[in-house]
Amino acid sequence: MNQLISRVLVALVVLPPVLGMVYLGGWWIAALAGAACVLALHEVFKLLRPFRPVALAGFAGGLAAIAGAVLGGPEWVLGGFMLTLPLAFLLKGMGGTRGSTAVSVGSTFLAAGWVGLGLAHIVLLREIEIDGRLAVFTVLLAVFADDTAAYFVGRLVGRHKLAPAISPGKTWEGFVAGTAAAIFVTWIALYRTEFVDGYRSFVLGGVIALAAPLGDLFESALKRDVDVKDTSRLLGAHGGMLDRLDAHLFAAVAAFYVIAAFGAA
């Protein structure tokens, strides 16, 4: 009960300004994504500490990718992110720290790509010229519906484990319920629009429904590797920033390129 109260209180405090900045778009959402990027990368680098990541290079690459989303689109996102690799190699060499360069630079590149590119694509969704606001809110709502339906159905009737070695709490029953919820929400949000209409909204919903749990499982696998439950207690019972973003980081990237493939981005 205490955890439920904590979740509700944190949501009441955090959600209004977050949704407001997403609604405004532009540098507002870029600033929001940048702050989330710094917090999430801090948590990732704590998880990856045994691999000695070059944190400064990861922060720089992640933030540069987000800035690129506002300044110039996908090409600039990629350019900003690719700064991570030479900068990590340079700083690793200058620092003279022990450990494998391949492991150190590789873990840095992974962190910046996972968090930085994921958040940058949330910004890219908002920056779509036609109905960008609708696009980003559709993805956010679909991921929320997927996660909520999967959780409650899994708790109530879940019997068959989805990935017991990674996340024992997830079930196939929850996955099916989450998929149905994500597709339904996406269809309702885009119903009778000229943005991603008809069967394409079902495709988009299905892609979000597949990508979101993969993002969740990816984070769970990393946490299991280092034997932690939550990446931090930043958001109380919600866990850390990364615990709240994991599904969105995969879903936003997948959704953006599906929308682009449909010619709407």
User: Per-residue pLDDT tens for 100-124?
Assistant: 899 999 999 999 999 999 999 999 9
CA 181 – CA 247 distance, rounded (Å): 15
Amino acid code (one letter) for 156:
L
Instruction: Assess contact for 215 and 251: CB atoms under 8 A.
Output: yes
CA 131 – CA 155 distance, rounded (Å): 36
pLDDT at residue 99, rounded to an integer = 76
In a domain, 215, yes or no: yes
Helix, strand and coil content of the chain, in percent to the nearest 5, comes to 80, 5, 20
Number of domains in the chain: 2
Same domain, 142 and 260: yes
Same domain, 122 and 234: no
In a domain, 5, yes or no: no
Which residues does residue 118 pair with via DSSP β-bridges, in sequence order? none
pLDDT at residue 203, rounded to an integer = 96
Q: Among residues 82, 105, 127, which one ends one of the domains?
A: 127
Distances (CA, A) of 66 to 26, 44, 59, 63, 126: 11, 17, 11, 5, 12
Q: Rounded to two decimals, what is the model's pTM?
A: 0.92
Question: Would you place residue 140 in the very low, low, confident or very high pLDDT band (cuts 50, 70, 90)?
Answer: very high
In a domain, 68, yes or no: yes
CA 137 – CA 142 distance, rounded (Å): 8
User: Residues near 243 by Cβ (< 8 Å), separated by ≥ 6?
Assistant: 219, 230, 231, 235
pLDDT at residue 97, rounded to an integer = 66
In a domain, 8, yes or no: no
In a domain, 172, yes or no: yes
pLDDT at residue 225, rounded to an integer = 82
Same domain, 36 and 143: no
CA 45 – CA 40 distance, rounded (Å): 9
Same domain, 99 and 157: no
Query: In terms of Cα–Cα distance, which of 14, 143, 21 is closest to 70?
Result: 21
Q: What is the DSSP letter of 259?
A: H
Q: Among residues 108, 127, 146, which one ends one of the domains?
A: 127
pLDDT at residue 7, rounded to an integer = 65
CA dihedral sign, ordered 248, 33, 242, 155 = negative
In a domain, 10, yes or no: no
Same domain, 254 and 182: yes
Between 150 and 2, whose confidence is greater?
150
In a domain, 4, yes or no: no
Give the pLDDT mean for 147-165. 91
| Residue 171 φ then ψ, to 5° | -130, 160
- In tens, the pLDDT along 30-71 reads 999 999 999 999 999 998 888 899 999 999 999 999 999 999
Q: Among residues 83, 98, 127, which one ends one of the domains?
A: 127
Same domain, 73 and 120: yes
Same domain, 142 and 120: no
Instruction: Assess contact for 264 and 257: CB atoms under 8 A.
Output: no
Structural domain including 209 reads: 130-265
User: Residues near 185 by Cβ (< 8 Å), separated by ≥ 6?
Assistant: 138, 141, 142, 145, 205
14: left (phi over 0), alpha (psi -120 to 50) or beta: alpha
Same domain, 58 and 180: no
- In tens, the pLDDT along 171-187 reads 999 999 999 999 999 99
Same domain, 200 and 260: yes
In a domain, 244, yes or no: yes
pLDDT of 237 over the 70 cut: no
Same domain, 63 and 154: no
Give the pLDDT mean for 228-253. 82
Same domain, 175 and 223: yes
pLDDT of 8 over the 80 cut: no
Amino acid code (one letter) for 46:
K
Distances (CA, A) of 11 to 7, 8, 14, 91: 6, 5, 5, 39
Same domain, 97 and 19: yes
What is the rounded (10 degree) CA torsion for 13, 15, 20, 25? 130
CA 34 – CA 17 distance, rounded (Å): 15
